[in-house]
Structure formats: C-alpha cells, structure tokens
Amino acid sequence: MIGGLFIYNHKGEVLISRVYRDDIARNAVDAFRVNVIHARQQVRSPVTNIARTSFFHVKRSNIWLAAVTKQNVNAAMVFEFLYKMCDVMAAYFGKISEENIKNNFVLIYELLDEILD
C-alpha cells in the first residue's frame, strides 16, 4: 500500500517518520514540506503529486499527517486510514498536538507497527 508515513508540526519539522518501501527516499520528506506546508498559496487539493510521488495529507489542528506513495493505491482507503490513525492516537493520548506527539512518540511507533505492515 503506502510507501511511507510522516507527521509534521506546523513549521514543517518531522515528528514521526516511518518509511515502508525503498522507492520513498528521505528527500520525499523535504519535498512535501517545501511544496505543501511552506507553499505560499493555499493548498488546492488533499492529494499532491510531486515528481511522480503522491502525497495524501490531512491536517489536525496544526499537525500534518502525510502518507506517501509512488503507486496507484486506493486513495479512499489511505484517507480512511489517516482518519483512523488520528482517532487511535486521540484515544491513546488525547488531543493531537505537537507536544502530545513528542511525548508519546515511542507509543506512536508501536501503534504504527501494529496497524500497518
């Protein structure tokens, strides 16, 4: 399915990064930051294609969750997954905020391990 999952704070710093496939390089993290989070115009679509890499993002308060892929994945499923991911995180440690994510990053990695192979 997806090739990687990143969580950014509002400044575009990576809080959580998990890469599942070889085709996603570390620079994908920066591509999203530059083109979406730091983009001057308002983002016009929750799906962005940068250099043949697709980014799906949802935003909760000032936290960005981005799923990355280079394949023709099921877009609806990816978004459903991102929402569920938010729900699960909220159930474990309350509001999704930068502080909470930093405080619980080990927990998030463990969760990711369980919900996504």
Partner 1 sequence: MTDSKYFTTTKKGEIFELKAELNSDKKEKKKEAVKKVIASMTVGKDVSALFPDVVNCMQTDNLELKKLVYLYLMNYAKSQPDMAIMAVNTFVKDCEDPNPLIRALAVRTMGCIRVDKITEYLCEPLRKCLKDEDPYVRKTAAVCVAKLHDINAQLVEDQGFLDTLKDLISDSNPMVVANAVAALSEIAESHPSSNLLDLNPQSINKLLTALNECTEWGQIFILDCLASYTPKDDREAQSICERVTPRLSHANSAVVLSAVKVLMKFMEMLSKDLDYYGTLLKKLAPPLVTLLSAEPELQYVALRNINLIVQKRPEILKHEMKVFFVKYNDPIYVKLEKLDIMIRLASQANIAQVLAELKEYATEVDVDFVRKAVRAIGRCAIKVEQSAERCVSTLLDLIQTKVNYVVQEAIVVIKDIFRKYPNKYESVIATLCENLDSLDEPEARAAMIWIVGEYAERIDNADELLESFLEGFHDESTQVQLQLLTAIVKLFLKKPTETQELVQQVLSLATQDSDNPDLRDRGYIYWRLLSTDPVAAKEVVLAEKPLISEETDLIEPTLLDELICYIGTLASVYHKPPSAFVEGGRGVVHKSLPPRTASSESTESPETAPAGAPPGEQLDVVPTQGDLLGDLLNLDLGPPVSGPPLATSAVQMGAVDLLGGGLDSLVRPRRLDIGAPNFVAPPAAAVPANLGAPMGSGLSDLFDLTSGVGTLSGSYVAPKAVWLPAMKAKGLEISGTFTRQAGSISMDLQLTNKALQVMTDFAIQFNRNSFGLAPAAPLQVHAPLSPTQTVEISLPLSTAGSVMKTEPLNNLQVAVKNNIDVFYFSTLYPLHILFVEDGKMDRQMFLATWKDIPNENEAQFQIRDCPLNAEAVSSRLQGSSIFTVARRNVEGQDMLYQSLRLTNGIWVLAELRIQPGNPSFTLSLKCRAPEVSQHVYQAYETILKN
**Residue ranges binding partner 1 (CB under 8 A):** 1, 13-17, 19-23, 26, 29, 42, 44-47, 49, 52, 54, 56, 58, 69-77, 79-83, 99, 102-106, 109-110, 113, 117
Asked whether the beta carbons of 20 and 116 are under 8 A apart, the reply is yes
CB atoms within 10 A of CB 12: 15
Beta carbon of residue 19, minimum distance to partner 1 (angstroms, whole number) = 8
Using DSSP, state whether 16 is helix, strand or coil: strand
Beta carbon of residue 21, minimum distance to partner 1 (angstroms, whole number) = 8
Beta carbon of residue 1, minimum distance to partner 1 (angstroms, whole number) = 8
